[in-house]
Amino acid sequence: MNGVLDIVIFCKDTNSSKNWYEKVGFEYLRGHEDMHWFKVGDGEVMLHPTETQSNTDAVFQFVVKEVDPLFENIVEKELTPLDFSNGEKVITEPTVQPWGYKEFCLRDPDGYIWAFVQKSN
């Protein structure tokens, strides 16, 4: 295996989800019909339409150089940062986990969990 091509996210309303991902700061690449692609590192996240509720029992973790500026940007855009290791508690600053990660999480419009992690040195 050489890498990940796409992470496919099934969405009830891909256009609403597209707006959410852009608000978070994902880089929009292209769209086709009701599908949308965003650049993430060397891969892509694809929003794909579905009529049924998807299984959201997964956490997508993304490494960022500095989590604090991203956190501030998220709060300014009136999104709700959460600590999922503490029962989805709403937080006012990134959480430093016992294993050393400084992070926060978001739930997207379809219920998927997105974690933004700054690894310890």
Domains along the chain with CATH numbers: 1-54 (3.10.180.10), 55-121 (3.30.720.110)
63 is written with which tokens? 């490494």
Mean pLDDT of 21-33: 96
What is the reported pTM?
Answer: 0.87
- Per-residue pLDDT band for 12 (boundaries 50, 70, 90) equals very high
What pLDDT does residue 5 have?
Answer: 83
Per-residue confidence (pLDDT) for residue 4, from 0 to 100 = 77
Across the beta sheet with 35-40, the strand order is 6-11, 43-49, 35-40, 27-32
Average pLDDT over residues 79-97: 93
Q: How far apart are CA 114 and CA 104, in angstroms?
A: 8
pLDDT at 84 over 70: yes
pLDDT-derived band at 121 (thresholds 50, 70, 90) equals low
